C-alpha cells in the first residue's frame, strides 16, 4: 500500500496529510528509514538519535541550524524585505501598513503602484493567506477585511510552533472582534512570470519545482521538477537570498521569472517569498518520491550539523512504540490498530497505564507508514485521538501474525 | 507678618504628579495626561494639625498650562507656601488671606511668561505682533498662566482654612443654594447633521420631563456658517415640536471664533420669536472660550449669550469661578449658569465642585461626572474628602515634599535605584527587553540596524549579521523555543533528563473524569492550568480536594482560555525563583515575592505603597509595573482586617497580592551567590535537555535556595526560551547582574565576532533613520531628547525619507537614544535606524543642522 492510498484510508477514517504537517512527516520518516530512534512531542518537535548525547532536533522539519532569531525574521515580511533589499536582491515593490492607522496610506500606495497587487499578512507563516491578482479597490477591501479577522479564527491560518504569540488586545469594529490596530499587512506589486520554488539546504539548491501559479495558492499537481533545467543564475539568486538572512539551515524561496532557463540578468525576476519552512508539500504534489528524498536531504544535513552518522536507508523497520497522555486510551488504541492494519503493519499495541494515559506496543512495517501514524496521533487526527508524546525505538524485526491489541 | 490668634502655619507642602485613567498607559509615545495633587500640612496656634488638599488639572491651552513648566511652577509655589502664615480667625479673614496669597501666586505665574525677544523666527515675531495687537484691541485676554495648577493650590488652601474653622468649603465661600441638579451634556460631533441627529435621538429617549433642557456640547467643531445652520434647524425643529422647548448649544464654534457666539444667540432669539410655538428657548452656551472676566465682559458688550458653563480649572479656581458667575448674572439675571469638571478628575476635584456649586449665587446644574442626581451642601469640614490614594496609587510619576520628609529608617534591605531609568522610559515598560542587548552590542563596537522597538540586527561587518527580536536571538534554535513554549512537552522532556518537575498531564478539553483520577494518583494539592497559558489566565493553584478541583474546572471554563486542553499537576510548595542560564552557566537568579509593604509604625499602607512605587519608578524593569490597589490587594488587606489608612507596626510585612509576578507589583531579590550548587546544576541540566537552548529563564519552585535540591520540595515549572532580561539585570534588592552583557559576550564567542576588547563607556554613533521622518517634528524631538539625556551631536534631514544624526555621549543614554530613534516624534513612522560608529567629532551641544558640520570618520 502506498502512502497516497494510506492518506485516504477508509479504515482509519483519517483525512489526508495536511500540507503544514508534510515537512515534519518527511523528516520523521527519513529518520526511521535511517535507523534512528525518534521522540515526537506536540507541534512536531522531533528528536532523533541513538542515545542521550547524539540527538538531533527538528521543528516541522526545520533543523537546529535554523536559529530562533533568523526564523523570527523570516516570519516578519517587513524585516525580511529590508534584509533582502540591503543585499540588493530583486523584490516586487511593496510596503507594510497597519490596519489601525495605515489603510488610507495603503490605498494611496496602491494608487501610486497601480493594480494588480498582492496582499499578505506581514507576520507569521509564509506562503499562506496570500491574495494575489487584486485588480481593484473592492478586491483590496475584501482582502484587508479577511485579514481583519483574528488569525486564529481564519480557516486558512496555520502557525509555526516558534511563531510570536499575539499578546496585544484585539480590536473591535462595529461590534466585531478584529485584529489589534497594530496588526500589519503587506502590499506588493503583482509581478508576472513563471513561478519557481527552490529549496535551499545548507547553502545549496536541492530542488526546483516549476509551479503553475503561486505555490502558496495553487496546488502544484501540475508542477514539474526542473532542477536540471533551471538556469544557474536563478539558483544563485535563491542562495543569495538565504544568505541575506543568515542563520537559516533550510529555506524555500519562490521566484517569479520570465524564463527560468535564461540567465536572471536581462529579464524580469523577483523574489516573491522566502520561508524558513521547507514546504515539501509542493514537491509531494509533484511526486511522493521527491518529497521523500528531500526529507532525507534535510535529515542528512541535520546529522552533519550534529555530527551523527546514519545507516543506509531501508523501507521497513520494527519499532517499540510508546505513547503518553492519551485522553481516550481504548479508543486511541483501537484507532491506531485499525489504521496500522490497513497499512499492513504487524505487531501489537495495548494500554499500559490508564491513569497516566500510556499505551505501548511494537510496530513492524513501512517506516513511512509508522511515521504517518505517529504524526497523526500527535496531531489529534487519528479519528480525533491524541497523544502528547510518541517514542519509536528501533528493534530487531520479529515475526508477527498480523496486528493484535493486547488486553489491558 | 500677621501673628493674629487664628493664624495657621503651613508646615509642609506635598506635590504629587499622577497620570489620570485613560490619559495614557505609559506605553505609547504620547505624553500622558495627568493631574497634580497638592497636600498642605499646617498647624493651628494651639498646635492642632490640619491638612488641606486640592487637585491641579493642567490641561494645556484650556487652562493656560504648559507640560513640565506647570510642574516646575507648582514646585515653586510649594516652596513659597512653606512656613507661610494664614490669618484665619473667621470666614472673611480666611477668605481674604487665601485671596491675597493666590493673587501673589498668580503674579508669580505671570512673571514666568517669557519675554519674547532675541533670536526668534520671522514667523514667531509676526505671531507675537499679532498677539499684541489683538490684546490691545481687547480681542485677546491678558495671559493668566497655570490656571489649572493654581486651581489645585487654591482648593488646598480653602480646604485648609475651612478645616481650621471647622466648616465646609461651601460654608466658607457662602452657601446660596441647598441643592443643585446634576446634568451632563450630550457629546456633539462634527457636522450639523450629526449634532442634530444626536439631539433628536436624545429627545426621543426623553421620558417627557420638560423641565430640563437638552444640552449638547459641540466642542467648537463647526464653522460659523454651519453653526448658524445648526441654530436655525434646531429652532425650526423645536417649533415643530420635534425637540423640547429648551435647547442649549455649547461652544458651537472654535474658541477663536467666539465673537460669533452673540450673533448666534441673536439668530436663535429672532428665529424663536418668529416660531409658532410659545416659549421656544434655544440658548448658545459659552464654555471653553470664556474663562476670564475680560473675556466675559467682551461677550457681554457684544450682547451676551444665554448660558455660561464654568470649569474651575479653566477659570483658575473656585474664587474666580464665583466672580465670573456674579459678573455674568449682574449683566443678565436671566443667564443660565452651569458648572462642569474637566475630564480626568478625582474625588478631590469632584468635592471642590460640589462645594462650589452650592456657593454660587445662582446655578442651574453641575456636571460632576458622578451618577448622583443632585448635590447638596457638604458636611465638611473642609472639602470633606481624604487623599484619593485608591485612585492614584499606581499612577504616580513624581512626589515632592517641601521641606523634604525626614527619612524613616526602612525595615529590611535597601532597595536598589538605577540612574538609567530616564533613558529607558521612552522605550516603554518592556523597553529593557528590546534595548539592553543592542546597548551591549554597541558598547563592544558592533554596528546595528533596528527595525522596531524589539528587533535589531548586529554585525561586526566581517561576519554575517546576528538577528535579535526581543530576546529571540541567534544563540537559541527554533526547535528549542517550540519545545519550551509547550509546557507538557517541556515537562516530559525534563522528566526524561532526571530534573525535578512536578508530575502532571494534559487532558482533553472537558475530560474531567480522567483528570480527577490522575489528581488522586499524584496526590493533592494540585494545580490546574490551560495547556497553552499566558499571563496566568485560568490558573488555579493549591487545590486541596476533589470539590476544589471541580471548582477550578469551572473557573477555567469561564476564563478566556476555557476552550483549551488543560493540565493537572502536582502543586509544589515553594517560593518562586527565576534563574537565568547562558550557555552552561547560571548567571543570575532572583527570588520573586508577592507585592507587599513593610510598616514603619508611622505611615499608612497607602503612603507606604506610594513610597514603594516611587522606588519602583527608579528601576528600569519595574517603573512601569507598580503595586496596584486592585481586587487582589483589597482581598489581602481584608484578610488581615486592614485598609489603606491602617498604619502597620514597624517591621510588619503586609501582603498586597498572592501572585509573585513582578508585573503584579512583586519584588525581585537577587540570590545568585547564595544559591546551592545542586540547584544551579539542575538548572543547567534542564537547559541542556532542550537541544539548541543557550539562553533560558528557568522558573523554579523551591523551598529554600540555600539548601541542596534533594532536601526539599522542588520543581521546575517552566523554561522560558525568550525570557525577559531586565528582571535579573535590575533586581529591586541585592546585586544587579549583567545579563545582557553576558548574553552578547556569548554571541561574540560563539560566532567569533570581531569586537573591541573592552566595553566602551562612551559612544560616538552615526544614525541613519529612514521612513516617515521629515515634516513630523523628528529633528526637534531628537534635539530635546538628546539635550535632556546629556548627549551631544547634531541631526539633519538628508532627503524627505531620511534623517541623519550624530550622537556622542556616555553609553547608556547614547545607546538608549539610538534605540528610541526608531519611535521618534508623535507623527513619525521610522522603518529602520542604522547605527554605525564614528570617530568622536568635535561637538559641544546638540543642534539641528542643515548640512553635516564635519566629515565623519567611520570606525570598524
What 3-state DSSP class applies to B55?
A: strand
Q: What is the pLDDT of residue B542?
A: 87
H or E stretch covering B145: none
A293 part of a folded domain: no
A140 φ, ψ to 5°?
-65, -45
Q: What is the pLDDT of residue B428?
A: 86
pLDDT band at A22 (very low <50, low <70, confident <90, very high): very high
Q: What is the pLDDT of residue B30?
A: 44
CA distance, residue B117 to nearest chain A CA (Å): 40
What 3-state DSSP class applies to B239?
A: helix
pLDDT band at B114 (very low <50, low <70, confident <90, very high): low
CA distance, residue A320 to nearest chain B CA (Å): 17
Name the one residue in this structure whose C-alpha cell is 493537572.
B568
Task: Judge if A327 and A381 occupy the same domain.
Answer: yes
Query: Which member of B492, B517, B535 has the closest CB to residue A41?
Result: B492
Measured N-to-C along each axis, helices B293-302 and B261-274 cross at an angle, to the nearest 10 degrees, of 40
Tens-place pLDDT, residues B781-815: 999 999 999 999 999 999 999 999 999 999 999 99
A294 part of a folded domain: no
Among B29, B448, B478, pick the best mutation site for testing chain A contact (most A Cβ within 10 A).
B478
Of the listed ranges A124-128, B96-100, B833-837, the one predicted with least confidence: A124-128
Q: Which of B389, B314, B340, B395 is nearest to B22 (CA)?
A: B395
CATH number, residue A139: 3.30.1490
Burial bucket for residue B572 (CB in 10 Å: 0-12, 13-18, 19+): buried
As a whole number of Å, the CA-based R_g of chain A is 23
Domain end position, chosen among A236, A255, A277: A277
> Would the pLDDT of A52 be above 60?
no
Kindly state whether B566 is in contact with chain A, defined as any CB-CB distance less than 8 angstroms.
no
Tens-place pLDDT, residues B554-566: 988 887 777 778 8
Domain end position, chosen among A257, A277, A297: A277
Task: Judge if A75 and A210 occupy the same domain.
Answer: yes
Q: Which of B450, B491, B493, B779 is catalytic?
A: B779
For residue B792, what is its C-alpha cell? 551631544
Q: What is the pLDDT of residue B487?
A: 82
Task: Judge if A178 and A199 occupy the same domain.
Answer: no
> Would the pLDDT of A308 be above 50?
yes
Burial bucket for residue A59 (CB in 10 Å: 0-12, 13-18, 19+): buried
Q: What is the pLDDT of residue B769?
A: 98
> Would the pLDDT of A146 be above 60?
yes
pLDDT band at A222 (very low <50, low <70, confident <90, very high): confident
A173 part of a folded domain: yes
Calculate the alpha carbon distances from B824 to B32, B791, B832 in Å.
Answer: 16, 16, 11
Are A247 and B691 in contact (CB < 8 Å)?
A: no
pLDDT band at B645 (very low <50, low <70, confident <90, very high): very high
pLDDT band at B207 (very low <50, low <70, confident <90, very high): low
Are A68 and B474 in contact (CB < 8 Å)?
A: yes
More confident position, B473 or B404 = B473
Q: What is the pLDDT of residue A219?
A: 60
Are A247 and B464 in contact (CB < 8 Å)?
A: yes
C-alpha span between B823 and B778 (Å, rounded): 10
> Would the pLDDT of A9 be above 50?
no
Task: Judge if A235 and A345 occupy the same domain.
Answer: no
C-alpha span between B548 and B542 (Å, rounded): 9
CATH number, residue A377: 3.30.70.100
Are A59 and B464 in contact (CB < 8 Å)?
A: no
> Would the pLDDT of B4 be above 70?
no
> Would the pLDDT of B26 be above 70?
no
pLDDT band at A168 (very low <50, low <70, confident <90, very high): confident
Calculate the alpha carbon distances from B744 to B467, B468, B583, B670 in Å.
Answer: 12, 11, 11, 21
Task: Judge if A11 and A145 occupy the same domain.
Answer: no
Please report, rounded to a whole number, the percentage of residues in chain A having pLDDT higher than 90.
73
Size (chain B), residues: 860
Are A327 and B507 in contact (CB < 8 Å)?
A: yes
A196 part of a folded domain: yes
> Would the pLDDT of B243 be above 80?
yes
Average pLDDT value for chain B: 90
Task: Judge if A177 and A197 occupy the same domain.
Answer: no
Q: What is the pLDDT of residue A307?
A: 87
The number of domains in chain A is 3
> Would the pLDDT of A14 be above 70?
no
Q: What is the pLDDT of residue B122?
A: 66
pLDDT band at A213 (very low <50, low <70, confident <90, very high): confident
More confident position, A221 or B581 = B581
More confident position, B843 or B430 = B843
Winning range, highest mean pLDDT, from B118-122, B462-466, B628-632: B462-466
C-alpha span between B409 and B789 (Å, rounded): 32
Task: Judge if A107 and A177 occupy the same domain.
Answer: yes
Average pLDDT, integer, range B108-134 = 68
Task: Judge if A221 and A349 occupy the same domain.
Answer: no
CATH number, residue A268: 3.30.470.20
Q: What is the pLDDT of residue B264?
A: 93
Give strand ranges (E) for B748-791: 762-772
Give strand ranges (E) for B460-616: 466-469, 504-507, 526-530, 540-543, 566-570, 575-582, 585-593, 596-598
* Residue partners of B125: CB distance under 8 A and separation at least 6: none
Q: Work out how many CB contacts closer than 8 A connect A with B.
A: 148
> Would the pLDDT of A126 be above 90?
no
Are A72 and B507 in contact (CB < 8 Å)?
A: no
- Contacts with A276 from chain B: Cβ below 8 Å: 478
Tens-place pLDDT, residues B578-593: 999 999 999 999 999 9
Of the listed ranges B340-344, B715-719, B761-765, the one predicted with least confidence: B340-344
Tens-place pLDDT, residues A63-99: 999 999 999 999 999 999 999 999 999 999 999 999 9
Tens-place pLDDT, residues B410-466: 666 889 999 999 999 889 888 888 899 999 999 999 999 999 999 999 999 999 999
More confident position, A345 or B46 = A345
Kindly state whether B688 is in contact with chain A, defined as any CB-CB distance less than 8 angstroms.
no
For residue B535, what is its C-alpha cell? 499571563
| Whether B25 is catalytic | no
Q: What is the pLDDT of residue B341?
A: 87
Task: Judge if A336 and A386 occupy the same domain.
Answer: yes
Average pLDDT, integer, range A200-215 = 94
Kindly state whether A48 is in contact with chain B, defined as any CB-CB distance less than 8 angstroms.
no
Query: Which member of B469, B475, B505 has the closest CB to residue A356?
Result: B505
Q: What is the pLDDT of residue B115?
A: 55
Measured N-to-C along each axis, helices B778-789 and B811-820 cross at an angle, to the nearest 10 degrees, of 160
Q: What is the pLDDT of residue A6?
A: 40
Task: Judge if A69 and A102 occupy the same domain.
Answer: no
A380 part of a folded domain: yes
| Whether B797 is catalytic | yes
Cis ω for the linkage preceding B226 (within 30 of 0): no
Task: Judge if A214 and A262 occupy the same domain.
Answer: yes
Domain end position, chosen among A277, A300, A331: A277
Kindly state whether A79 is in contact with chain B, defined as any CB-CB distance less than 8 angstroms.
yes
Tens-place pLDDT, residues B31-48: 457 999 999 999 998 899
Please report, rounded to a whole number, the percentage of residues in chain B having pLDDT higher than 70.
93
For residue B85, what is its C-alpha cell? 502664615
More confident position, A304 or B120 = A304
Are A246 and B480 in contact (CB < 8 Å)?
A: no
Give me the domain span that covers residue A98: 93-189
Among A23, A28, A45, A299, pick the best mutation site for testing chain B contact (most B Cβ within 10 A).
A45
Kindly state whether A20 is in contact with chain B, defined as any CB-CB distance less than 8 angstroms.
no
Task: Judge if A345 and A383 occupy the same domain.
Answer: yes
- Contacts with A63 from chain B: Cβ below 8 Å: 479
Q: Which of A87, A89, A88, A140 is nearest to A113 (CA)?
A: A140
CA A379 to the chain's CA centroid: 14
C-alpha span between B579 and B677 (Å, rounded): 13
C-alpha span between B797 and B795 (Å, rounded): 7
> If you count DSSP H runs as helices and E runs as strands, how many of each does chain A have, helices first?
11, 20
Amino acid at each position: 500500500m502506498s502512502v497516497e492510498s494510506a492518506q485516504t484510508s477508509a479504515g482509519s477514517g483519517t483525512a489526508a496529510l495536511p500540507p503544514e504537517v508534510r515537512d515534519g512527516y518527511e523528516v520523521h520518516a527519513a529518520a526511521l528509514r535511517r535507523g534512528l530512534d525518534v521522540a515526537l512531542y506536540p507541534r512536531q518537535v522531533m528528536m532523533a538519535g541513538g542515545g542521550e548525547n547524539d540527538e538531533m532536533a527538528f521543528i516541522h522539519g526545520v533543523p537546529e541550524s535554523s536559529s530562533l532569531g533568523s526564523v523570527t525574521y523570516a516570519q516578519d515580511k517587513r524585516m525580511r524585505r529590508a534584509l533582502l533589499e540591503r543585499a540588493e536582491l530583486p523584490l516586487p515593490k511593496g510596503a507594510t501598513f497597519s490596519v489601525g492607522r495605515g489603510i488610507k496610506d495603503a490605498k494611496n500606495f496602491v494608487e501610486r503602484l497601480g493594480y494588480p497587487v498582492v496582499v499578505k499578512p506581514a507576520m507569521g507563516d509564509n506562503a499562506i493567506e496570500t491574495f494575489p491578482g487584486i485588480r481593484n479597490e473592492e478586491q483590496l477591501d475584501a482582502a484587508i477585511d479577511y485579514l481583519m479577522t483574528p488569525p486564529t479564527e481564519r480557516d486558512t491560518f496555520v502557525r509555526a510552533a516558534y511563531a510570536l504569540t499575539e499578546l496585544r488586545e484585539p480590536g473591535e469594529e462595529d461590534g466585531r472582534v478584529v485584529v489589534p490596530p497594530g496588526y500589519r499587512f503587506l502590499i506588493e506589486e503583482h509581478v508576472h512570470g513563471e513561478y519557481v520554488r527552490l529549496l535551499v539546504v545548507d547553502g545549496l539548491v536541492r530542488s526546483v519545482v516549476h509551479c503553475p501559479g503561486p505555490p502558496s495558492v495553487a496546488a502544484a499537481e501540475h508542477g514539474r521538477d526542473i532542477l536540471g533545467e533551471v538556469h544557474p543564475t536563478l539558483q544563485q539568486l535563491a542562495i543569495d537570498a538565504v544568505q541575506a538572512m543568515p542563520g537559516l539551515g533550510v529555506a524555500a524561496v519562490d521566484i517569479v521569472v520570465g524564463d527560468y532557463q535564461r540567465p536572471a540578468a536581462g529579464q524580469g525576476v523577483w523574489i516573491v517569498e522566502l520561508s524558513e519552512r521547507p514546504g515539501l508539500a509542493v514537491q509531494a504534489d509533484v511526486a511522493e518520491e521527491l518529497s521523500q528524498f528531500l526529507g532525507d536531504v534535510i535529515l542528512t544535513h541535520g546529522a552533519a550539523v550534529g555530527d551523527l552518522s546514519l545507516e543506509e536507508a531501508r523501507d521497513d523497520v520494527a519499532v517499540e512504540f510508546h505513547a503518553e497522555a492519551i485522553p481516550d486510551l481504548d479508543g486511541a488504541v483501537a484507532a491506531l490498530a485499525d489504521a496500522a492494519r490497513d497499512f499492513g503493519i504487524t505487531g501489537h499495541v495495548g494500554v499500559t497505564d490508564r491513569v497516566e494515559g500510556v499505551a505501548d506496543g511494537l510496530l513492524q512495517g513501512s517506516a513511512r507508514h509508522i511515521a504517518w501514524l505517529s504524526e497523526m496521533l500527535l496531531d489529534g487526527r487519528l479519528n480525533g485521538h491524541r497523544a502528547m508524546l510518541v517514542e519509536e525505538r528501533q528493534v530487531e524485526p520479529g515475526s508477527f501474525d498480523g496486528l493484535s491489541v493486547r488486553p489491558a | 507678618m500677621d501673628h493674629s490668634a487664628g493664624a495657621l502655619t503651613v508646615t509642609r507642602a506635598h506635590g504629587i504628579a499622577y497620570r489620570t485613567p485613560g490619559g495614557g498607559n505609559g506605553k505609547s509615545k504620547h505624553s500622558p495626561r495627568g493631574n497634580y495633587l497638592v497636600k498642605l500640612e499646617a498647624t493651628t496656634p494651639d498646635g492642632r494639625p490640619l491638612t488641606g488638599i486640592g487637585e491641579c488639572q493642567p490641561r494645556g491651552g484650556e487652562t493656560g498650562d504648559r507640560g513640565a513648566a506647570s510642574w516646575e511652577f507648582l514646585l515653586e509655589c510649594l516652596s513659597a507656601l512653606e512656613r507661610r502664615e494664614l490669618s484665619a480667625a473667621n470666614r472673611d479673614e480666611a477668605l481674604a488671606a487665601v485671596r491675597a496669597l493666590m493673587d501673589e501666586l498668580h503674579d508669580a505665574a505671570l512673571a514666568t511668561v517669557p519675554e519674547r525677544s532675541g533670536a526668534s523666527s520671522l514667523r514667531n515675531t509676526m505671531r507675537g505682533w499679532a498677539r499684541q495687537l489683538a490684546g490691545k484691541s481687547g480681542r485677546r485676554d491678558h495671559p493668566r498662566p497655570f490656571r489649572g495648577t493654581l486651581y489645585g493650590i487654591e482648593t488646598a488652601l480653602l480646604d485648609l482654612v475651612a478645616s481650621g474653622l471647622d466648616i465646609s468649603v461651601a460654608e466658607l465661600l457662602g452657601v446660596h443654594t441647598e441643592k443643585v441638579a446634576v446634568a451632563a451634556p450630550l457629546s456633539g460631533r462634527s457636522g450639523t447633521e450629526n449634532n442634530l441627529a444626536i439631539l433628536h435621538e436624545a429627545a426621543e429617549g426623553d421620558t417627557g420631563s420638560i423641565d430640563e433642557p437638552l444640552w449638547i456640547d459641540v466642542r467648537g467643531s463647526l464653522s460659523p456658517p454651519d453653526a448658524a445652520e445648526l441654530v436655525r434647524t434646531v429652532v425650526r425643529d423645536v417649533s415643530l415640536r420635534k425637540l423640547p422647548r429648551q435647547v442649549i448649544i455649547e461652544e458651537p464654534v472654535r474658541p477663536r471664533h467666539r465673537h460669533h457666539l452673540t450673533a448666534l444667540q441673536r439668530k436663535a432669539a429672532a428665529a424663536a420669536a418668529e416660531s409658532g410655538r410659545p416659549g421656544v428657548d434655544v440658548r448658545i452656551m459659552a464654555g471653553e472660550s470664556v474663562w476670564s472676566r475680560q473675556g466675559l465682559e467682551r461677550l457681554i458688550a457684544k450682547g451676551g449669550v444665554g448660558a455660561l458653563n464654568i470649569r474651575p480649572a479653566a477659570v483658575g479656581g473656585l474664587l474666580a469661578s464665583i466672580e465670573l458667575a456674579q459678573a455674568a448674572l449682574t449683566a443678565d439675571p436671566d443667564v443660565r449658569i452651569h458648572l462642569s469638571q474637566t475630564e480626568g478628575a478625582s474625588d478631590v476635584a469632584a468635592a471642590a465642585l460640589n462645594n462650589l456649586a452650592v456657593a454660587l449665587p445662582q446655578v442651574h446644574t453641575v456636571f460632576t461626572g458622578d451618577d448622583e442626581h443632585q448635590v447638596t451642601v457638604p458636611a465638611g469640614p473642609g472639602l470633606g474628602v481624604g487623599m484619593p490614594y485608591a485612585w492614584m496609587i499606581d499612577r504616580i510619576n513624581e512626589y515632592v515634599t517641601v521641606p523634604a520628609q525626614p527619612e524613616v529608617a526602612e525595615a529590611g534591605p535597601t532597595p536598589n535605584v538605577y540612574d538609567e531609568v530616564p533613558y529607558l522610559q521612552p522605550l516603554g515598560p518592556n523597553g529593557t527587553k528590546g534595548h539592553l542587548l543592542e546597548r551591549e552590542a554597541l558598547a563592544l563596537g558592533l554596528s546595528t540596524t533596528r527595525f522596531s522597538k524589539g528587533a535589531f540586527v548586529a554585525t561586526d561587518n566581517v561576519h554575517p549579521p546576528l538577528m535579535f527580536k526581543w530576546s529571540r536571538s541567534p544563540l537559541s534554535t527554533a526547535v528549542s523555543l517550540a519545545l519550551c513554549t509547550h509546557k507538557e512537552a517541556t515537562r516530559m522532556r525534563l522528566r526524561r533528563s532526571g530534573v525535578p518537575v512536578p508530575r502532571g498531564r494534559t487532558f482533553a478539553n472537558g475530560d474531567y473524569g480522567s483528570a480527577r483520577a490522575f489528581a488522586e494518583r499524584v496526590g493533592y494539592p494540585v494545580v490546574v492550568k490551560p495547556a497553552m497559558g499566558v499571563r496566568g489566565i485560568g490558573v488555579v493553584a493549591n487545590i486541596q480536594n476533589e470539590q476544589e478541583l471541580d471548582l477550578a474546572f469551572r473557573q477555567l471554563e469561564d476564563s478566556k482560555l476555557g476552550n483549551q486542553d488543560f493540565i493537572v499537576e502536582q502543586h509544589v510548595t515553594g517560593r518562586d525563583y527565576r534563574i537565568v542560564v547562558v550557555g552552561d552557566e547560571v548567571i543570575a537568579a532572583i527570588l520573586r515575592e508577592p507585592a507587599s509593604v513593610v510598616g514603619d509604625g508611622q505611615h499608612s499602607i497607602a503612603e507606604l505603597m506610594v513610597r514603594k512605587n516611587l522606588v519602583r519608578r527608579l528601576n528600569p524593569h519595574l517603573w512601569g509595573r507598580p503595586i496596584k490597589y486592585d481586587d487582589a490587594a483589597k482581598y489581602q488587606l481584608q484578610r488581615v482586617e486592614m485598609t489603606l489608612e491602617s498604619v502597620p507596626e514597624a517591621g510588619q510585612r503586609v501582603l498586597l497580592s498572592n501572585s509573585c509576578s513582578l508585573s503584579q507589583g512583586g519584588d525581585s531579590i537577587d540570590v545568585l551567590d547564595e544559591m546551592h550548587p545542586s540547584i544551579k546544576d539542575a538548572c543547567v541540566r534542564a537547559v541542556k535537555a532542550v537541544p539548541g537552548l543557550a539562553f533560558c529563564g528557568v522558573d523554579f519552585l523551591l523551598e529554600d535556595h540555600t539548601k541542596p535540591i534533594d532536601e526539599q520540595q522542588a520543581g521546575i515549572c517552566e523554561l522560558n526560551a525568550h525570557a525577559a532580561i531586565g528582571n535579573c539585570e535590575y533586581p529591586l534588592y541585592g546585586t544587579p547582574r549583567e545579563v545582557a552583557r553576558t548574553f552578547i559576550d556569548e554571541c561574540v564567542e560563539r560566532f567569533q565576532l570581531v569586537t573591541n576588547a573592552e566595553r566602551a563607556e562612551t559612544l560616538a554613533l552615526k544614525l541613519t533613520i529612514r521612513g516617515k521622518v521629515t515634516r513630523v517634528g523628528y529633528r526637534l524631538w531628537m534635539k530635546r531628547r538628546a539635550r535632556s539625556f546629556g548627549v551631544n551631536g547634531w541631526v539633519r534631514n538628508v532627503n524627505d525619507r531620511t534623517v541623519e544624526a550624530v550622537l556622542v555621549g556616555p553609553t547608556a543614554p547614547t545607546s538608549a537614544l539610538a534605540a528610541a530613534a526608531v519611535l521618534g516624534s508623535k507623527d513619525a513612522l521610522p522603518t529602520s535606524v542604522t547605527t554605525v560608529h564614528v570617530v568622536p567629532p568635535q561637538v559641544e551641544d546638540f543642534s539641528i543642522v542643515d548640512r553635516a558640520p564635519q566629515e565623519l570618520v567611520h570606525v570598524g
